[in-house]
Structure 1
Amino acid sequence: MFKAMLRGLLAHKLRLVLSALAIVLGTMFMSGAFIAGDTISQGFSSLFSTINSELDVQVTGKSDVSNEQSSVVTATVPQRVADEVATVDGVADSTPQVASDGARVVGKDGKVIASAGPPRFGVGWTGEDGLLELREGAGPSGPDEVALSANLAEKAGVGLHDQVQIITLQPAKTFTVAGIFGYEGGRDSLAGEMTVAFTMPVAQELMLGKLGEYTSVDVTAASGVGDTELKQRIQDKIGQEYEVRTNKEATEAADDGIQSFVSILKTGLTVFAVIALIVAIFLIFNTFSILVAQRTRELALYRSFGASKQQVVRSVLAESAFLGLVAAIVGLIVGCGIGWLGKQGLEALSNTDLPVSGIVVRPYVIIVTLLVGVLVTVISALVPALRASRVPPIAAMRDAAVPDKPLRRLTVAGLIVLAAGVAFLVLRLTKVWKDPLWLVLGGGALLVFIGVIMLAPALSRPVTRAIGAIFGRGVPARLGTRNTGRNPRRTALTAAALMIGVTLATAGGVFASSAKAGLTDVFTTDMKAQLIVQTDFNAGPTAGFDPALQQQIRAIPGVRTAVALKADAGRVGGQTAQVIAGDPVASAEIFTLTAASGEIRPLTAGEVILDDGTGKRLNATAGSTVEIATARGGPSQQKVVAVLEPSSTWPGPLLSEADAAGFTSPNAQAAYVQVASDDQVEAVRTQLEEMFKDNKEVTVVDQSQLLGTVTSFLDIILVILNIMLGLAIIVALLGVVNTLLLSIYERTRELGLIRAIGLSRGSTARMITVESILISVFGALLGMVVGVGLGVAAVKIFGGDYLKLTIPWGYLIATLVLAVVAGVLAAILPAIRASRLNVLEAIAYE
C-alpha cells in the first residue's frame, strides 16, 4: 500500500499542487509570524542587555500611574536618595541619570524631526562609557550646549558648532552643538532612538521640570558583592518608596514594552495564517473528495486484491500527510523569508541594526509548523478517506461514479444550526443574555457561519441558476450553469473558501462604516467648536502649548468661547483612565455637557467632575469622594462636584488646573474654539494660525479635518480587512482552479463528446469561464449576506452614539466585481486545458 500511495501521489501531483499552495500560504504566515517575532524579541533583548551592561543594580521612582504608551519618566529619584544609595555598603560606584522622552529637535527646514515610534530622549551628560562614545567635539559643558546622537544630527542636518532649536517641557530654546556621539559597534542609534544630551542641571529642568531630580541611579557593586544582596541592602536603606532592580530585572522591565509590540506583530500575522488554513481545509477536503471519487475503481481494485478498509483509509491519509509535510516545509522556508523581511522592515523604520545576525528560528517553530501542515491536511482528507473505504469492491468495479447523497438531512441540520446562531444573537440584542459577550457574539456568529455553509449545497443550484440567467441563453452559458449545479456539495465547498474572507471583510466594513457615520453625527451635533488647535499626532506626549493662551484665543474678534484642554493618563478609583483639565463651564458649552448630579462650575484644588461612565463605575454622586492619581502628583482624595449625563464627546474625569500640575506635561494638547457665526470662521482661523505660527507642533484644523483624523484608524482597519479579503480571494482562486481542473479530468470524455457534436474551442472556454464566475459570485454573495448580517448584529449589540448603522453599498458592489474578476482569472488555466483536449482521445478516455 505504501508503494501504491507513492504512485498515487506521483500520478496526481499536478492536481495536488494547488492544494499544497493553500497549506504553504497558511504555514508561511504562521512560521513567519513566529520567526519575525522571535528575531525582533531577541534583538531588543540583546540591545537592552548591552544598554544595562555597565550596572549591577538600578534605582528608579515608583509611579501610581502606568502609561505603557509613553517613555516619559514621571516618577523620579531625588538627590537625597541618590546620595543615600552612594553610601550603602557594597556600592563601588553610583551614577545618577536623567533620561526621558520628549526632546524634539527642529531641523534645518524648520520642521520638528518626527519619530515613527522610537523615543526622542533628553538626557543628562555623564561622559563616555562602555556604550557611548564621542565621535566629534566634546560633551556639553554649559547651559547653552548640547551633544546629539549621530542619527539625530544627520536627520536634523546639523553639525558641530551649529545652532539648533530644541523643544522640551518648555518652548523651543536655542543651543550650540558641542559634540556628536554614537554607540559601540559603530552604531548611530539604539533601536532608532534620537538623543539630545544636556548638562545635568539643564536636563533636569527641561526634561523633568525641576532641579535635583533623576530618572534613575545606576549602581556598580563592589567586588565580592552579589547584585541580589546589594539590591536588598539598597532597598533597606531607601525604603519601599523606590524601585530597586538587579541588572536582569532592569533589562526585563525595559524589554516588557517591546514584547507587547512583538505580540501584536505575531497576532496579526497569525490571524492571516488561521484564515489561510481554514480556507485550505475546504480546498483540501474538496480536492480529496474529487480524487477519491475519481479513483473509486482504483481503490476498489486494492480491496479486491485483499486490502482492508483500514488500509484504504491509511493510504489516503498517508497521501494527505505527505502532501501536508512537503507543503509545510516549503511554508517554513518561505516563512523564514517573511521573518527576515520583518526584521529588515523594523530596522528600516527605526533606522538601526538590531544586534542579532540573520534570523532566529527556534525548534518550536519548526515543530509547530510541520505539525499544523500535516494535521490540517490529514483532518481535511479524513472524511473522503472514510467515504472511499465504505464502497464495496464489486459495486465500485461495476460503476466508478459515486452517487451524490440527498441534501435533505444536511439542509435540515443547517437550518437548525443557523437558527441556533440567530437565537444567540437575538438573546444578546434583547439583552436576555448579556455576558460573556465574546461567547454570545462569537458563538452566535460561528453557528450562523457553520449553518450557512451547511445550507450552501441546497442553495447552490437555485442561486447559480439565477445568476447564470445573466449570461443569456447561449449554449456555453447554459452548459456552464448546469455543470455548476451538477454537484452542489462540490460547488458549495469551493465557494465556501471565498465566503470566509468576504464574510470577515463585509462584517468589518459594515461596522467601520457605521462607526464613521456615528462619529460624523457626534461631531456635527454634540461638538460646537468649528475650529480646533491640535497638537500633531506624532509630536509626543509632552508637546502642546501654554494653556494660558486660552485667554488670548477668546479675545480674538468673532470667537464666542474657547477652552484649552490637557489630557493625561491617570488612575481613578483604582483603574487606569484618561484624566482631563480645563475650564468646566466653557467645556460644557462646547461639548454639550449637562450634569446628572451636582453643578458644572469652576473647580478648585481637590475637586473633580466625573464623566457618566466613571460615576457609574464608582457609584459616585455629587458630594462623594474618589481617589485620583496623576503621573507626577501621586494619589489624592478628590471631592465630586458633579457627575455628567452620558456624553458621546467627553472621555473622562475633569480635574482642576491646580491638580493638573501633576500631569506629565504642563502643556495643553488642544484648544476648541466656538465661533459666533459661520461667516467669521475663516477670519478667526487666520488669527489662530498667526498666533501659533512659531509653534512647530501645532496645527489649526476645522471640524471636518478633525473628524478625518479621528476616523483615520477606521481606514486602517478597512485596509487590514481588505488584505484579509485579498488573501481569501487568492486561496479561493486556487480552490476554483483546482476544482475546475479536477472536474475537467473527471469530464474528459464528456468534453470530447460535446466537442465532437459541434462545440467550438472558444465556446468550451466560455463554458468553463461561466462555471468559474458562478462559483466565485456564489461564494461572494454568501459571504456578503452573512457578513452584512453579522455586521448589523454587532452594530446593534454594541450600540451607542458612536455607531449609526450604515451599509457600505459601494464596498459591497466592489467586492462583487472583484469576485467576477477572480472567477475570470481562475478560469484561464482550466479553460485553456479544456479547449485544447484532443477530441478523439477525450472520447476514448476512461
Structure 2
Amino acid sequence: MIGTAVSRFRVLGFRDLRAHWVRSLVSAGVVAVAAALLVAVLGTYGSLTGSVEKLAVSIAGDADLEVVGVTDTGFAATELDVIRAVPGVEAAVPLLRGEIVTGSGSLTVIGVDASITALDSDLQSAVSGSITDLARPGAVLVGPNTGYAEGQTFEVAGRTLTAVGVVTGEGSERIGGGNFLITPLPAAQTLTDRAGQLDSIFVVGDAADAVRDAVGGRVAVMSPDFRAERADTAMSLTRNSTLMVSLIAFVVAGFLVFNVMNMAIAKRRPTISVLRSIGGRRATIVRDLLTEAALVGLVAGSIGVPLGILMGNLAIDSLPPFLIEAFDVRLEYVLPVYAIPSAIILCVAACVAASALAAVQVYRISPVEALAVGGSEASSGPSGRFALGVGMLGAAAIAGSVVLAVTVDGEAALAAGAVFLVGVVALCVGGTGMIVGAAGNVPRRWGGAGRLASATIERAPGRIWATVMTIIVAVGVIVGVSGALNNLTSSATESLSSLGRTDVYASLTSSYAVPSGATLDPAVVQQIRSTPGVTNVVEGQWAYADLGDELVAIQGVAAGSNAVTLSVLDESVEAAVLRGDGVAISRNLGLALNVSAGSTIELPTPTGVRPVKVLAVVDYLNAAGGTMAISLDSMQEWFERPGATYLEIAVDSDTVQKTLDDTLPPEINIYSGTQALEGASASIAQAGALAVALQWIVAVVAAVALLNTLMLSVLERRRELGVLRAMGASRGTLGRMVLSEALAVGIVGGVLGLAIGAALQYLSTLILGASTGIAIEYTADPSILLYGLVALLLALVGSLPPAVHASRSTIVDAIAAD
C-alpha cells in the first residue's frame, strides 16, 4: 500500500510540483518565512531564560537549594553558620558576587571558600585545583576576557593582585562575560566594600523545610533554577505578544497554500476524473493531496528553521535593559528544544489544514463533468447553513474575546487576542458570500473589463475569499498592533511623566534601566550635596525582592520625591506611605497575592518578617512581577540598606549637570529628568519593537502571497484568456480585467482590514492594560488610513506582472495550454 502511494505521488503529485515549480516554490517560501519568524521569537526569548539557566548550572552545579537575600544586595554572612548547623545539610557553600569598575570597564568579583569543592559545577572545577594557590595574599584566578595572563601582577580597587591562573573551562564566558576574577571570600568582600556580606549559599542535602525554619524569613530559600523561572515570567508579556504576531504569519501562509492548492485541484480536474473513472476513491485522492501538502510543509519548515536561528541571533541584542537587568547575565543564543519541532509541525499543520479546505471540492467532481478538457478554477463557497453556523460562532468568539480582555487581569488576558483572531476568521468564513459579492460589485461599473473581472470573481469565490483574507489579516494586524503599541507607549510615558519633573538624576545605572542594586558611596552623595548650584537632594532606592513566589520591584521613597510610585497616589495615601504606615502595591501584584487595600501582607526582610498594611492597590507599570512603594526609612531599616541607589537633584542652572558629570567618579551616571523619561519610554517602546518588526514581515509575506496568488491565477487561466482573445478581446482589455480584479480585492480587503484592525487595536489596549498594570487610553490615529492605501497599492503593484502577462498572451499558445 505504501509503495502504491509513493508511485502515485511520483507519477502525479511530484510531476505536478515539478511542472509548476514557481507555484510550489512560492507556497513553500511563504511557509518557510512563517517558520523562521516562530523560531526567531522562541529563540530570542528562550535565550534569556536559557542563559540564566546555564549560568546557574555553571555556578550552582548539583546544589539542592540556593539561599539568597530577600533583596538583590545580599545578606549577612552570619546566616552561613545558621545553615551549616541545620540537620540534613551536607554542605553549605558561600559565594559573593559583585561588580567593581576599573579603568578597563566593569569587572565581576567572585568570592569563595574551600567548601566550593562540595559542588559539582564549572566554578568548582575552575577553583578546586587552585585552592592552595589562592591562599597566598593577593592571589586570584582571572577570566579569559580580562586581558591578564598567568603570573601577571595588576591593581584593582587600590589593591595589588596576582593572577595565579586563567579560567578557560566550559562556562567561563557566562560569568561576567568572561571578565571576572575569583578570590577568597574575605578578599572579595574587601574589594567590593561589602564586609560581612554574601550573595548566595548553595546547600547540598535534602533539608529545604528545615533550612526555611532556621532562617526565619531573613533570607529566601529557593531552588537553584529560580532565576530562570523569574526570567521566563519577566519575558512573558513581550514573548507572548510577538509570538501571537508570528503565528499570524502561519495564517497568511495558510491562505496562500489554500489558493495554490485550490488552483492545483482545478488544474488537475481531468486527471482526477480519470482516476475516478477507473475506480479511484475520493478519500484516496484527497489523502494523496494532503500528503503532498504535508511534504511541502516539511520542506518549507526545514528551510525556515536556519533562517529563524539567524534572525534570533540578531534579535537578542535588541532586548530592552529593564527585561534583563535583574538577572545579571551575559546573553548567549539558546534555542529551546521544542522550537524546531514546533515550527515544523505548525508548517505541516498549516499546509494540511489549508489544503484540506481546498480538497473538499474533490468530492464535488463527477467523472463525466471533469473529463472536459482544460479545467477550471471555478468553485463554490460554503453552504448557507454551514456559513450561518460558522458566522454565529465567529461573532460569539469576538464577543467572548472582549469579555475575556475586560474581566481577566494579568498575562492570561493575552488569550483574548487569539480568540478574537479565530472569531474574525470564522466570521469571514460565514460571510464568504458577502465578501465575494462586494468584491464582484466593485468593478461592475468599470466598463467591459470590469464586468469580465466581476464574472471572474464570482466564478472563484474560494480563491477570492482567501485573497481578500490575506489583505484583511495583513492590514488588520498592522493597524491593530501598531496602534496598540503606540497607545501603550504614549500611556506609559504619561504614567512616567513625573520623572521629567526632576532636574538631574545620579545613579550607578543608565537612564534606560531601573536604578537598583548597590547603593551610592556616601562620599559621592556628600560631594553632590556640596556642589555649587545644587539646591536640594532627595534620596531613593530601588531593589528587587522576593515576596513569596513573586519577584517584586520595591521603591523606597522620601518626602519631596517625584517618584512615579508616589505620583499616582492621592495626598492622604502618599502621606501615609511616607510616614511608614504601610505600602502601596501594583494591581497585578495585588492580584498575584490575592490582597486588596486594607489587607496585611507578610514582607520578608533581613531583619525578620514584617507585617505591612496595603494602603492602596494602584496602576503601576510593571518593572518585574509587581511593584511596591515603601517609605525610604522603612526600607533602609528593615532591609539593612543604608543610603540610596539613586538621587533626585534640584539645581539652579543648566550648567550644574555638566559640572557633576565632569567631577564625579566615572561609574556615576548623571542624566536629566527629560533623559530619564525618554530612557524609560524608549525601553517600553523597545519591548514592542520586535513585534512591530514582525508585523511588517507579515505584511511583506502577505504582499508576496497576494502577488503570487494573482500571478498564479492568470497562469492557471491561460486557456480562458485565450478564448477571450479569440472572441475579440484586446490585450488591453485582458490587462485591465486583471487590474480591475486586483483593485476590487484590494478595496474590499483594505476596508475590512481597517475595520478589523481598529477593533483589534481597541482589544489590544485592554489586553496590554491588564498585562502591564496601567490603564492604556485608546486613541485612533488618522494615519491608519494610510494602511488602507498601502493595501490598494500592494494590490495594484501585485497585479501589474500578471496583467502584463495576460496582455501578452497569444491566442494559439493560450488555447494550447495544458
Q: Do both proteins adopt the same fold according to a TM-score greater than 0.5, normalized to the shorter chain?
A: yes
Structure 2 distance, partners of 1:253, 1:820, is 51
Q: Secondary structure at the match of 2:302?
A: helix
- Which residue of structure 1 aligns with residue 681 of structure 2? 711
Q: Secondary structure at the match of 2:647?
A: strand
**Match among 182, 188, 191 for residue 166 of structure 2:** 182
- Which residue of structure 1 aligns with residue 196 of structure 2? 211
Tell me the TM-score normalised to structure 2 length.
0.75
8 Å CA contact 2:500–2:676 kept in 1: the answer is no
**Match among 701, 708, 720 for residue 731 of structure 1:** 701
Q: Secondary structure at the match of 1:807?
A: coil
Output the amino acid matched with 2:103: G
Output the amino acid matched with 2:628: G
Say which is worse superposed, 554-563 or 720-729, in terms of deviation.
554-563
Post-superposition shift, 1:103?
Answer: 0.8
| Cα 1:351–1:338 shift into 2, 3 Å | farther
Superposition map of 1:48-127 within 5 A: 60-61=66-67, 63=69, 65=70, 73-74=74-75, 76=77, 78=79, 80-81=81-82, 97-100=94-97, 102-108=98-104, 112-113=105-106, 120-124=108-112
8 Å CA contact 1:550–1:564 kept in 2: the answer is no
Structure 2 distance, partners of 1:515, 1:838, is 56
- Which residue of structure 2 aligns with residue 281 of structure 1? 254
- Which residue of structure 1 aligns with residue 13 of structure 2? 9
Superposition map of 1:269-418 within 5 A: 271=244, 274-307=247-280, 311-332=281-302, 334-335=304-305, 338-339=308-309, 372-397=346-371, 401=376, 402=378, 404-405=380-381, 416-417=392-393
Say which is worse superposed, 382-391 or 403-412, in terms of deviation.
403-412
- Which residue of structure 1 aligns with residue 579 of structure 2? 603
Q: Secondary structure at the match of 1:287?
A: helix
- Which residue of structure 2 aligns with residue 701 of structure 1? 672
**% identical equivalent positions:** 19
Q: Secondary structure at the match of 2:654?
A: helix
1:564 aligns with 2:549: no
Structure 2 distance, partners of 1:82, 1:439, is 44
8 Å CA contact 2:498–2:563 kept in 1: the answer is no
Superposition map of 1:439-588 within 5 A: 443-444=419-420, 446-455=422-431, 458-460=434-436, 462=438, 483=456, 487-524=460-497, 528-534=501-507, 535-536=509-510, 537=512, 541-543=516-518, 545-546=520-521, 563-570=538-545, 576-584=551-559, 586=561
Q: Secondary structure at the match of 2:760?
A: helix
1:745 aligns with 2:721: no
Q: Output one character per residue of 1:7-54: Cα deviation in whole Å (capped at 9) or x when no partner.
A: 33244312333223344344455577789999999998787666567x
Say which is worse superposed, 787-796 or 183-192, in terms of deviation.
183-192
1:20 aligns with 2:28: yes
Output the amino acid matched with 1:287: V
Q: Output one character per residue of 1:354-397: Cα deviation in whole Å (capped at 9) or x when no partner.
A: 8x9xx9997x8887666544443333222333322233333444
Output the amino acid matched with 2:720: E
Output the amino acid matched with 1:151: N
8 Å CA contact 1:320–1:374 kept in 2: the answer is no
Structure 2 distance, partners of 1:345, 1:598, is 41
- Which residue of structure 2 aligns with residue 653 of structure 1? 629
Output the amino acid matched with 1:106: T
Tell me the TM-score normalised to structure 1 length.
0.73
- Which residue of structure 2 aligns with residue 594 of structure 1? 570
- Which residue of structure 1 aligns with residue 777 of structure 2? 804
Q: Output one character per residue of 1:223-247: Cα deviation in whole Å (capped at 9) or x when no partner.
A: xxxxx6xx66x9989974399xxxx
Say which is worse superposed, 28-37 or 438-447, in terms of deviation.
28-37
Output the amino acid matched with 1:378: V
Post-superposition shift, 1:142?
Answer: 5.0
8 Å CA contact 1:407–1:457 kept in 2: the answer is no
| Cα 1:573–1:448 shift into 2, 3 Å | same
Structure 1 spans left out of the alignment, 5+ residues: 115-119, 165-172, 220-227, 244-248
Output the amino acid matched with 1:183: V
| Cα 1:463–1:387 shift into 2, 3 Å | closer
Structure 2 distance, partners of 1:655, 1:330, is 57
Q: Secondary structure at the match of 1:99?
A: strand
8 Å CA contact 2:750–2:792 kept in 1: the answer is no
| Cα 1:426–1:323 shift into 2, 3 Å | closer
- Which residue of structure 1 aligns with residue 324 of structure 2? none
Q: Secondary structure at the match of 1:319?
A: helix
Output the amino acid matched with 2:145: N
| Cα 1:182–1:838 shift into 2, 3 Å | farther
Q: Output one character per residue of 1:457-499: Cα deviation in whole Å (capped at 9) or x when no partner.
A: 5235546865999xxx698788667755663442221232343
Structure 2 distance, partners of 1:619, 1:272, is 34
Post-superposition shift, 1:565?
Answer: 1.4
Structure 1 distance, partners of 2:428, 2:212, is 66
Post-superposition shift, 1:507?
Answer: 1.6
Output the amino acid matched with 1:657: D
Output the amino acid matched with 2:669: V
8 Å CA contact 1:189–1:351 kept in 2: the answer is no
Structure 1 distance, partners of 2:343, 2:750, is 30
Post-superposition shift, 1:296?
Answer: 2.9
Structure 1 distance, partners of 2:774, 2:635, is 31
8 Å CA contact 1:544–1:698 kept in 2: the answer is no
Q: Output one character per residue of 1:198-232: Cα deviation in whole Å (capped at 9) or x when no partner.
A: 5532423565833275733687xxxxxxxx6xx66
Equivalenced residue count is 774
Structure 2 distance, partners of 1:655, 1:663, is 12
| Cα 1:783–1:290 shift into 2, 3 Å | same
Report the aligned-residue RMSD: 5.4
Structure 2 distance, partners of 1:601, 1:24, is 55
Structure 2 spans left out of the alignment, 5+ residues: 117-122, 320-327
Post-superposition shift, 1:786?
Answer: 0.8
Structure 2 distance, partners of 1:265, 1:682, is 37
Output the amino acid matched with 2:610: S
Superposition map of 1:159-174 within 5 A: 160-164=152-156, 173-174=157-158
Post-superposition shift, 1:159?
Answer: 11
Structure 1 distance, partners of 2:389, 2:92, is 72
- Which residue of structure 2 aligns with residue 197 of structure 1? 182
Structure 2 distance, partners of 1:510, 1:75, is 49
Structure 2 distance, partners of 1:366, 1:295, is 34
Q: Secondary structure at the match of 2:633?
A: coil
Output the amino acid matched with 2:714: I
Q: Output one character per residue of 1:495-533: Cα deviation in whole Å (capped at 9) or x when no partner.
A: 323433433332222222222222344455797435444
